[in-house]
A and B are shown apart, each in its own frame.
Chain A
Amino acid sequence: SQQGEEDPQALSIQEGENATMNCSYKTSINNLQWYRQNSGRGLVHLILIRSNEREKHSGRLRVTLDTSKKSSSLLITTSRAADTASYFCATIVIFGQGTELSVKP
């Protein structure tokens, strides 16, 4: 399967803390994307990182990519209750298993 694996599968933190999620994938990629999904809703694109990039920032989001290890991480800083959602990485229309983030106020 080309599906990536998110780690951890579930994460519960307090508001204001940072949340880090990891993703591993199996195939060579041109780029990797992170998506967020609120319960039972459509996916929202968060950030795309290209294979020649190692780190990318967008607001409170920081994404890293290590193509030698076939892995990526998503860091959400100073988390808010509104960040509670499932987060997926995706490569070539294949999604990882996702991390369910719960941020307690």
Chain B
Amino acid sequence: DTEVTQTPKHLVMGMTNKKSLKCEQHMGHRAMYWYKQKAKKPPELMFVYSYEKLSINESVPSRFSPECPNSSLLNLHLHALQPEDSALYLCASSQTTSGQVDTQYFGPGTRLTVL
């Protein structure tokens, strides 16, 4: 199974809502990533988890709160978002976060719209 799944596929939320994005992989990967991608732009790294611990936070605002409950799951909790946070949120996983970049496997993304 080389699949990374993400739910939901689409999400529309108001600025006062609280919602969560979910990501799951069963490849035994110990590194998981959240990226944000705006239209016609490359993915921008938000967070990296390595062995269920947050190892990289790319200065992401606190209204985005990641959580890694176990080695297969990665959540992104959203609260008090702004319209400019509307984007495609991509989850990825890889075998390790050693100095060498291992192949990252990406999920299909969650298309988020903040009203």
Residues of A within 8 A of B (CB): 3, 30-31, 33, 35, 40-45, 48, 88, 90-98, 100
Contacts and interface: CB of A to CB of B under 8 A. Distances in A.
Given A31-B101, A42-B108, 19 more contacts: A3-B42, A30-B100, A30-B101, A40-B111, A41-B108, A41-B109, A42-B90, A42-B109, A43-B43, A43-B92, A44-B106, A45-B103, A45-B106, A48-B103, A88-B43, A90-B104, A93-B33, A93-B48, A100-B40
Nearest to A97: B42
Contact of A91 (B6, B90, B92, B101): B101
Contacts of A98: 41-42
Which 8 A-B pairs give the minimum distances between C-beta atoms?
A95-B42, A42-B106, A43-B106, A42-B108, A30-B100, A42-B109, A45-B103, A93-B45
A11 B93 CA distance: 30
B90 to A, nearest CB: 6
Given A42-B109, A43-B90, A93 B104 contact: yes
B69 interface: no
Nearest to A94: B45
* Chain A interface main SS type: strand
Contact of A45 (B44, B105, B108): B105
Contacts of A43: 43, 90, 92, 104, 106
28 contacts: A30-B99, A30-B101, A31-B100, A31-B101, A33-B101, A33-B104, A40-B109, A41-B109, A42-B6, A42-B106, A42-B107, A42-B108, A42-B109, A43-B90, A43-B106, A45-B105, A45-B106, A48-B103, A88-B43, A90-B101, A90-B104, A93-B33, A93-B48, A93-B101, A96-B42, A97-B42, A98-B41, A100-B40
Nearest to A10: B40
Contacts of B92: 43
Contacts of B41: 97-98
Nearest to A29: B101
A44 to B, nearest CB: 7
Residue among A44, A91, A95, A98 with max Cβ neighbours from chain B (10 Å):
A95
